[in-house]
């Protein structure tokens, strides 16, 4: 077998702790689309390029392009001439000064993302699940997946503006905020991010319980501070009602104390809140930390890739 025709084998190995259902298994790395002579079809090659799980220059190129897009989007708002806040009509940003350069890079980026999106939809039938649905419904089902929707949301604002569907300046500017959606595209290309899903699902019950007690502490604390501070001339405007008290109280539960002129009873309640805040953040932090350690250990012990050559 030549190096070009080498077959990648992915093996899942049990951790050795006797877990049920964790047995060594072998699966040939994508070989869909092979003809009788063993050559791969164009669609299969495109599919392996845009959907392959093994690190490639293409994947890293997309990641770099995403990072540059978000970076330029942020840097473009820097004021280089005029008063920045509030920014009047004479205010000039980097995006205004180097408009042609920003627009050229935006066009190049959207073109690459659009081609990637089209290639992914076209080659989606290489997935057995979608291929079994037929050309139309298979691609439609794939286009409805989360990452395809993210891809579409990251390029749609640009084309809607180019086509004149969103002609007004104020709407166009607001619509361009969806460029930040491209950050979500990075999750697809960094396999380590998938560990977060495992950790959250495994610890969902405990995290839900922690969230419940955090909300309970917020409501009780806000109510208590409302009754102690709504007649306090220094803080009355922040505690005119219990809903008004929610915002400063949630800041206190996160460790921030923007208000200090409390009544004596308010000081007692604030001290209790400071103690509760430690537990509210310490418990989920410990749960997530331990969960990530276990998830990383499982990933390292159970999965590896080897290449076999003749």
> Which domains are assigned to the chain?
33-189 (1.20.120.350), 200-301 (1.10.287.70)
Averaged pLDDT of the chain? 76
Instruction: Render pLDDT for 140-149 as a digit per residue (tens, 0 to 9).
Output: 999 998 878 8
Instruction: Render pLDDT for 161-200 as a digit per residue (tens, 0 to 9).
Output: 888 887 654 444 555 566 566 566 566 555 666 677 778 8
Instruction: Render pLDDT for 268-302 as a digit per residue (tens, 0 to 9).
Output: 999 999 888 888 888 888 888 888 888 878 777 76
User: Has this prediction a pTM greater than 0.85?
Assistant: no
Cis peptide leading into 293, omega within 30 of 0?
Answer: no
């Amino acid at each position: 077998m030549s190096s070009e025709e080498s077959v990648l084998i992915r093996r899942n190995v049990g951790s050795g702790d006797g877990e049920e259902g964790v047995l060594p298994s072998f699966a040939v790395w994508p070989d869909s689309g092979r003809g009788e002579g063993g050559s791969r079809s164009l669609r299969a090659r495109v599919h392996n390029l845009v959907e392959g799980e093994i690190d490639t220059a293409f994947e890293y190129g997309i990641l770099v392009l995403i990072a540059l897009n978000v970076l330029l989007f942020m840097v473009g708002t820097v004021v280089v001439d005029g008063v920045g806040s509030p920014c009047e009509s004479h205010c000039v940003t980097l995006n205004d000064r180097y408009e042609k350069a920003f627009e050229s890079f935006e066009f190049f980026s959207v073109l690459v993302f659009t081609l990637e999106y089209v290639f992914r939809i076209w080659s989606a039938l290489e997935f057995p699940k979608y291929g079994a649905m037929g050309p139309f419904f298979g691609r439609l089902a794939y286009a409805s997946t989360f990452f395809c929707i993210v891809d579409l949301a990251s390029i749609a604002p640009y084309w809607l503006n180019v086509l004149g569907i969103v002609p007004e300046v104020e709407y166009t500017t607001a619509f361009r905020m969806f460029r930040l959606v491209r950050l979500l595209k990075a999750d697809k290309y960094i396999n380590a991010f998938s560990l977060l899903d495992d950790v959250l699902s495994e610890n969902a019950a405990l995290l839900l319980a922690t969230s419940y007690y955090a909300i309970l502490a917020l409501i009780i604390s806000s109510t208590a501070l409302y009754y102690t501070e709504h007649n306090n001339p220094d803080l009355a405007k922040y505690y005119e009602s219990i809903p008004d008290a929610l915002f400063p109280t949630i800041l206190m539960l996160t460790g921030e104390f923007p208000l200090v002129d409390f009544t004596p009873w308010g000081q007692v309640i604030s001290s209790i809140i400071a103690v509760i805040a430690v537990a509210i953040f310490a418990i989920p932090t410990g749960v997530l930390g331990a969960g990530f350690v276990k998830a990383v250990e499982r990933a390292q012990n159970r999965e590896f890739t080897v290449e076999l050559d003749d």
